[in-house]
């Protein structure tokens, strides 16, 4: 009992010291007592050191845990400071995509290797697997306890305030209080978890997660079966879709790793689960490949940015995992052993990739800035798609790119570029949307004349993407050269106040687009347009030309309705 109490006191003190140090370092950075980079280095070292020390204490003796955590913290701090040199000031460093995740990888991935090395072999997969999941479950349980402590404190404070006692509030409302309470609770929780390590083990968590494998297999299989029906062109060329696919690939790889466990003896049992694990491993390259394709579509259209570079690296890693897992299954026997060996190699690849991301050898801000500059100079990027505000946040490389653009803007004939750079705070797509409204006012004629206010009101309430669709439709010329669109304004719905608008325009692939709109209390309502003829009697070009020439011919529709109390029914051809 004395040993356990002493251990609890030590771990609680370690947690409190961690919270106190982090609070003081953040105060130092806030008050600019130290230079920016010195404060960044000290805070980064403290965060990684205390996080590693608390995590490793238990699997390792406290002193060896401190030594290992200090080694990892020193390495992470060096890479963090090297990455900070990309920026004149560190305040914008973490606003660039991909700044935090590499630091977390460098801080967390080495910890299981330290535990395995202490046991004699840093490449021993069973030791690595057990250490990784033990550290994860211990820390998750400790943070859950910390959250419960905070919930109890807040509830207790609310109760005591009812009788005029605010002793808890005086502690939690101070700058230091939350940091100290969180550290103390976390340290105490880790000590208790360490005492009952035989009860709080990753075995139960892993068994529960295995149950999800068939479900994820079905989801991935349905996705793959749906690809030929929907096609890659239908909405897959976006970064958000790529992120979803990468996350699903990561979840699938994690479940395969859990299923094969640390050895064949602990792996999933039964033919069904083993076949399901093999099937998921075989399908794993598909979502990763589609994610890579989706990212490439964005890059080809708009060029590199730090987020797209981060996504490309993630997609490449997901594809590497997928090929490793699928290749291991296809190789026949001992496929589980090959995946386990590959996991060690991929963990090292992950570490090297995260380290390179922090160095000048792979500077995402420089790569993105140079690419965006080149695209503008050679005309691949249209000025409405240029975002000087975003480029200006890419550190020194972004500033250099903007300077080069300013030099180009000072040349004769570059007035449009100069105008775009003069308003960097206005997003390019917002400017483009404003320009589209002006262009539509020129292209889309209104019938009868004099109803242009309705066009302006409708266009003002359209999303930028809808304005682009209208612009593209109007740019399709009629046989006589006029724009292939028209807005007809009239009282189409007699029981509705005000007038409505019917927009007719040519489709890029042929046919006639028909859209109806009404305004209700300043809100744009979309109305259904019903063609009362089974087949269009005239060609779309002739219909639009007729409206432009003769104007609208509004009249009652040859339809009667059945009134039934508050309801009405009509038959449509």
pLDDT in tens, 491-536: 888 878 888 899 999 987 778 888 888 887 777 888 878 776 655 4
User: What is the C-alpha separation between 570 and 556, in angstroms, rounded?
Assistant: 14
Q: How far apart are CA 337 and CA 326, in angstroms?
A: 13
Helix (H, G, I), strand (E, B), or coil: what is residue 407? helix
Task: Find the helix or strand (DSSP H, E) in which 532 lies.
Answer: none
State the DSSP H helix or E strand holding residue 96, giving kind and residue range, or none if neither: none
Model confidence at 236: pLDDT above 80: no
Average pLDDT over residues 435-452: 84
Quick check: 339 pLDDT over 50? yes
- Checking if the pLDDT of 68 tops 80, the result is yes
Residue 558 has pLDDT above 90, yes or no: no
**pLDDT value at residue 363:** 92
Least confident of 239-243, 352-356, 394-398, 569-573: 569-573
Quick one: pLDDT at residue 443? 87
**pLDDT confidence bin for 300, thresholds 50/70/90:** confident
394 pLDDT more than 60? yes
285-311 average pLDDT score: 90
What pLDDT is recorded for position 561? 61
Rounded mean pLDDT of 141-161?
92
User: For the ranges 126-130, 328-332, 559-563, which has the lowest average pLDDT?
Assistant: 559-563
Give the three-state DSSP class for 318: helix
pLDDT above 70 (res 427)? no
Asked, as a colleague might, if the bond just before 448 is cis with ω within 30 of 0, I would say yes
Q: Is 538 helix (H, G, I), strand (E, B) or coil?
A: coil
pLDDT tens, position by position, 71-108: 999 999 999 999 999 988 777 787 787 888 999 999 99
Residue range 327-333: mean pLDDT, rounded? 91
DSSP state of 511: S
Residue 109, pLDDT > 90, answer: yes
Residue 42 in this model has a pLDDT that exceeds 50: yes
The least confident of 53-57, 157-161, 273-277, 537-541 is 537-541
- Across 304-459, the runs of DSSP E, i.e. the strands, are 445-447
- The three-class DSSP label of residue 523 is strand
Percent of the chain with pLDDT over 90: 42
Cα–Cα nearest to 554, from 486, 515, 502: 502
Segment 13-35 mean pLDDT: 85
pLDDT, tens digit, for every residue of 314-325? 999 999 999 999
Give the pLDDT of residue 423.
65
Mean pLDDT, the chain, integer: 86
pLDDT at 76: 96
pLDDT for the residue numbered 168: 86
**Greatest CA separation found in the chain?**
99
Q: Dihedral angle at the C-alpha atoms of 355, 356, 361, 367, nearest 10 degrees? A: -120
Taking residue 114's Cβ as centre, other Cβ atoms within 10 Å add up to 22
Q: Of 415, 340, 338, give the one whose Cα is nearest residue 383.
A: 415
pLDDT of 420 above 80:
no
Res. 275 pLDDT band, cuts 50 70 90: very high
Better pLDDT: 357 or 524: 357
- Can you tell me the distance from the alpha carbon of 116 to that of 113, in angstroms, rounded to the nearest whole number? 5
pLDDT at 238 over 60: no
483 DSSP assignment: B
Break the chain down into helix, strand, coil percent, rounded to 5: 65, 5, 25
Is pLDDT above 90 for 395? no
In this predicted structure, what is the pLDDT of residue 465?
Answer: 72
Give the pLDDT of residue 142: 92
**HSE of 94 in the Cβ direction (CA atoms, 13 Å)?**
9
Per-residue pLDDT, averaged over 21-41, amounts to 83
| Three-state SS at 231 | coil
- 334 versus 31: which is more confidently predicted? 334
Query: What pLDDT is attached to residue 31?
Result: 76
Any residues with CB less than 8 A from the CB of 357 and at least 6 apart, and which? 83, 98, 102, 313, 364
pLDDT at 166: 82
Residue 234 has pLDDT above 50, yes or no: no
The pLDDT score that the predictor gives to residue 425 is 52
């Amino acid at each position: 009992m004395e040993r356990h109490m002493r251990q609890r006191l030590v771990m609680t003190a370690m947690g409190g010291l961690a919270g106190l140090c982090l609070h003081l370092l953040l105060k130092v950075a806030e008050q600019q007592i130290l230079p920016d980079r010195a404060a960044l280095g000290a805070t980064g070292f403290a965060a990684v050191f205390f996080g590693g020390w608390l995590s490793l204490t238990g699997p390792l003796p406290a002193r060896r845990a401190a030594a290992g955590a200090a080694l990892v913290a020193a390495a992470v701090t060096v890479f963090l400071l090297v990455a900070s040199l990309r920026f004149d000031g560190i305040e914008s460093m973490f606003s660039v995509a991909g700044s935090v995740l590499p630091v977390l990888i460098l801080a967390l991935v080495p910890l299981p290797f330290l535990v395995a090395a202490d046991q004699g072999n840093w490449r021993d997969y069973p030791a690595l697997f057990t250490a990784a999941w033990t550290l994860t479950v211990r820390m998750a349980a400790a943070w859950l306890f910390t959250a419960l402590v905070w919930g109890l404190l807040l509830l207790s404070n609310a109760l005591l305030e009812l009788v005029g006692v605010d002793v808890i509030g005086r502690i939690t409302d101070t700058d230091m209080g939350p940091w100290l309470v969180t550290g103390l609770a976390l340290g105490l929780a880790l000590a208790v978890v360490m005492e009952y390590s035989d009860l709080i083990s990753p075995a139960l968590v892993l068994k529960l997660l295995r149950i999800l494998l068939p479900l994820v297999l079905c989801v991935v299989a349905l996705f793959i079966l749906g690809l030929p029906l929907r096609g890659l062109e239908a909405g897959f060329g976006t970064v958000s879709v790529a992120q979803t696919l990468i996350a699903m690939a990561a979840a699938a790889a994690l479940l395969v790793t859990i299923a094969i466990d640390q050895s064949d003896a602990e792996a999933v049992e039964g033919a069904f689960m083993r076949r399901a694990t093999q099937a998921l491993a075989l399908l794993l390259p598909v979502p990763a490949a589609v994610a890579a394709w989706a990212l490439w579509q964005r890059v080809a259209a708009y060029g590199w940015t730090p987020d797209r570079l981060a996504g490309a690296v993630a997609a490449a890693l997901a594809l590497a995992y997928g090929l490793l897992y699928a290749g291991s299954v296809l190789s026949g026997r001992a496929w589980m052993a090959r995946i386990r060996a590959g996991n060690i190699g991929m963990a090292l690849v992950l570490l090297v990739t995260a380290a390179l991301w922090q160095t000048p050898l792979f500077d995402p801000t420089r790569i993105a800035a140079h690419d965006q500059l080149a695209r503008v100079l050679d005309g691949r990027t249209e000025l409405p798609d240029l975002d000087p505000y975003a480029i200006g946040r890419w550190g020194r490389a972004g500033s250099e790119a903007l300077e080069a653009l300013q030099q180009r803007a000072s040349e004769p004939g570059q007035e449009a570029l100069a105008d775009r750079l003069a308003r960097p705070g206005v997003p390019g797509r917002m400017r483009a949307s404003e320009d589209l409204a002006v262009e539509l006012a020129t292209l889309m004629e209104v019938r009868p004349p004099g109803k242009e206010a309705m066009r302006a009101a409708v266009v003002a309430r359209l999303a930028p993407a809808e304005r682009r669709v209208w612009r593209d439709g109007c740019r399709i010329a009629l046989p006589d050269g006029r724009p292939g669109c028209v807005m007809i304004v009239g009282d189409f719905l007699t029981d509705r106040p005000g007038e409505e608008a019917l927009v007719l325009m040519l489709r890029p692939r042929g046919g006639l687009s028909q859209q109806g709109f009404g305004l209700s209390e300043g809100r744009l309502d979309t109305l259904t347009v019903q063609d009362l003829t089974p087949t269009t009697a005239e060609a779309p070009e002739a219909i639009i030309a007729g409206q432009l020439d003769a104007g609208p011919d509004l009249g009652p529709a040859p339809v009667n309705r059945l009134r039934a109390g508050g309801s009405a029914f009509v038959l449509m051809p």
